[in-house]
A and B are shown apart, each in its own frame.
Chain A
Amino acid sequence: MDSVEALVAQIQGLSSSPEDISHLHNFLKEAEELLLSQAHRLASYLDQLDPSNHSLGYLYILEAYTSAPISKEQASDLVLSVVSFINSCVAEQIRLAPDKFISVCKRFKDHVLLLQSPMRGVAPMLMAVRKLQLSSEHLTTLHPDFLLLCLLAKCYKTGLSILEDDIFEVDQPRDFFLYCYYGGMICIGQKRFRKAMELLHNVVTAPMSTINAIAIEAYKKYILVSLIQSGQFSTTFPKYTSSVAQRNLKNFSQPYLDLANSYNTGKISELEECVQTNTDKFEIDSNLGLVKQVVSSLYKRNIQRLTQTYLTLSLQDIANTVQLNTPKEAEMHVLQMIQDGEIFATINQKDGMVSFHEDPEQYKSCEMIEHIDSSIQRIMTLSKKLSAVDEVISSDPVYLAKAGRERPRFDFDDFDSVPQRFNM
């Protein structure tokens, strides 16, 4: 292919059937160097193509065009072109050249950040993820970029939509670390602390051969979220945590571990003293806001503890017990907890008395039955997946070689299924 004009003609003529597209793809691969050499003048050729019909060819030209440096003024027009392409392109065609699609999308992300308009990238990047991924179980390298844009644009709810998918296929470990860390932050923003813990836990316990900066930051947030959600934190790692993480993570997180120890005393004064001592460190990590939520959660825990002992209690007594300044403050805390479903109570404003009630949930409503049923279905699906993964790993030579090396440490019955020739 000796000219871009000829290539454009090929794209226009060979984009109508899968066989034609396969031929076209070969032409495009051969023309890569030509396109890169002409990068600065490719914009006009894009106008001759329809991104929905000529997706593959359009992608090759767009990728070459975006490889060249551009000014901030050109970035805005380029962003519009890329958005139009992402919205219009056919997924089957762009999946033939996933690396090029990824390059275009990553440069698009860089441009919206350069323009300080992350919001402009949120919807297109979500569309890009959906077009690139082969199934909802597939974690692409664009997932963390999408979540990053959501965080910068403060579009937490939009980011949450992608975190509902169960991930089973990961392209690169780094993508997994970032997806779970950014995803954890999205969940914190939406106060979905249980889900946040699950995602941050995944980063902390993921296999790693050297200590990972993302895991360190995830561990710090994990400690805080654990205190908010559960009221406690255990320094014991699960057995499947890498030895690198077990040996090193705590060394980077001392202020947070000190905070957890103070929290465990149940005394607001001790907790606030610890916060005061380590404010600078929490601020540097941009975690001070979350630390303040930890302090609020201790008030809540202490109020919740009261519901286990008393049927009624005055707001003054609540304030005195949990070290709030006034009954009004106690009322605000109790009201918020009632609204959030953390306690079941009524406040008599006339005499300042709070009556605590039992959880009215009887677990026999239609909604509860549906919830339980869907959880059962999800667990059954997960069980089948795990069985399939177990079969694949059981026949993996790398796994069997390692199992063979571990063999002398264990009883014969544990490893009698491991073939002898893998006993290395």
Chain B
Amino acid sequence: MGPISIDRRTREMKPSPTYFLSDLDDHGSSVAMDVDDSDSLEILAEGVLNVDNKLADSDFFNSFDDDFDDADIN
């Protein structure tokens, strides 16, 4: 085995990827309005508030094969 060549160099650190869900700086004087759970969200609500603490849309179809294992490819 020949000599190991390890060339080191100092590089500028590439900009670190931004957190996609990080806090965003406020722009202007607006403050994000919290969704008030006691409001009846008439614009986008799906009917009456669920007072039984059950999950909404719990019957949605989600029975898919796990198709994302790359080991299955080739």
Contact = CB atoms under 8 A, between A and B. Distances in A.
A212 B30 contact: no
Nearest to A204: B21
Contact of A210 (B7, B13, B31, B50): B50
Interface stretch (A5-13, A69-77, A289-297): A289-297
Interface residues of B, number: 54
A289 B44 CA distance: 34
Interface string B22-40: 1110000111111111011
Nearest to B71: A292
Interface string B57-74: 110111011111111100
A281 interface: no
A309 B17 contact: no
Given A217-B62, A351-B2, A289 B69 contact: yes
Contact of B41 (A209, A238, A283): A209
Contacts of B64: 151-152, 185, 286
B49 A209 contact: yes
Contacts of B7: 310-312
A216 interface: yes
A335 interface: no
B13 A308 contact: yes
For chain A, give the interface size range: 35 or more
A208 B41 CA distance: 8
Nearest to B11: A308
A210 B19 contact: no
B70 A296 contact: yes
Interface string A257-292: 000000000000000000000000001001111101
B7 to A, nearest CB: 4
Contacts of A254: none
Contact of B17 (A232, A244, A317): A232
Contact of A154 (B4, B40, B67): B67
Interface stretch (A90-98, A172-180, A371-379): A172-180
A240 B32 contact: yes
A94 B60 CA distance: 27
A234 interface: yes
Nearest to A336: B70
A308 B33 CA distance: 42
Contact of A288 (B5, B31, B60, B69): B69
A148 B35 contact: no
Contacts of A173: 44-46
Contacts of B62: 217, 286
A417 to B, nearest CB: 11
A336 to B, nearest CB: 10
Interface stretch (A22-30, A46-54, A135-143, A406-414): A406-414
A313 B9 CA distance: 12
A131 interface: no
Question: 4 closest Cβ contacts across the A-B interface?
Answer: A289-B69, A239-B32, A289-B68, A311-B7
Given A189-B68, A242-B35, A293-B68, 13 more contacts: A173-B44, A209-B41, A210-B49, A210-B50, A243-B34, A244-B37, A286-B64, A288-B69, A312-B5, A312-B7, A351-B2, A353-B5, A398-B43
